[in-house]
Amino acid sequence: MTERVENNKALDQQRGLQCSACGHQRLRVIYTRAAKGSKLVRRRECRNCGARITTWERTAGCE
């Protein structure tokens, strides 16, 4: 039972976005805009080093 709990904790630590420059997991959204269909484009900035990344998101189950 404890092995399962430890595995879940390890998975929780790996979830979410990470900065590609420094590996920090705290990113803030600079702006969000709608794209074609049901997609969103978000520009994010690392709170640690200031590097910026762009993410494209869509609703699950939509094509």
Domain boundaries, the chain: 2-58
pLDDT tens, N- to C-terminus, the chain (63 residues): 566 656 566 555 667 889 999 999 999 999 999 988 889 999 999 999 999 999 999 877 755
Specify the pTM: 0.66
Please report, for residues 12, 30, 51, 63, the alpha-carbon distance to residue 56 in angstroms, rounded to integers and kept in the order given: 22, 14, 17, 13
Confidence at residue 15, expressed as pLDDT on a 0 to 100 scale: 74
Confidence at residue 59, expressed as pLDDT on a 0 to 100 scale: 78
CATH 2.20.25 fits domain 2-58: yes
Asked whether 47 and 27 are in contact (CB, 8 A), the reply is: yes
